[in-house]
Amino acid sequence: MAFLRANDTISGQEGKAFVKIGERMEEMFYIKTLEATVEKEKAELKTMGQRAVQHKAIGWKGSGTMTIYYVTTLFRELMMEYIQTGKDVYFMIEVRNEDPGSATGRQTVILEGVNLDSVIMASLDTEAEALEEEVAFTFENVRIETPFTPLA
């Protein structure tokens, strides 16, 4: 009988993320959380002889958010480039999950065509122990570069 051992779960702190903008690659050590989601787009179809509405997948869209500590100007600079020149910047994010205590090994997911939706341009908060910002984004492609090792 197979079962999941607790030490094979993945710690949320055991991972890394990298951003690649043009030829510039930077470790995103300032990330607190990152979540990227793919959502199917479906058409509703009615057919003869069926009362139920059926669904057909017709595409997908990728979106995400990341909460980062307010210690980098990188995303504000990208937004300023768009504001000042109209040139929008698309980039790549690589996310690695790798808990050395887990037998699942490493998973590497690449988000391509990442584009910012919103960025906090300035922030103050007298109640905050550490300033954070939430950055919303979309992406146009996703690849699983390295899958987890299946557990036996």
- pLDDT reported for residue 90: 98
- Sequential DSSP letters for the chain: -----GGGSPPTTSEEEEEEETTEEEE-TTEEEEEEEEEEEEEEE--TT--SPEEEEEEEEEEEEEEEES---HHHHHHHHHHHH-----EEEEEEEE-TT-TT-EEEEEEEEEEEEE-------TT-SS-EEEEEEEESEEEEEEPPPPP-
> Which domains, from first to last, does the chain contain?
12-146 (2.30.110.40)
pLDDT tens, the chain, 152 aa long: 788 889 999 998 899 999 999 999 999 999 999 999 999 999 999 999 999 999 999 999 999 999 999 999 999 999 999 999 999 999 999 999 999 999 998 999 999 999 999 999 999 999 999 999 999 999 999 999 999 998 87
Segment 65-109, tens digit of pLDDT: 999 999 999 999 999 999 999 999 999 999 999 999 999 989 999
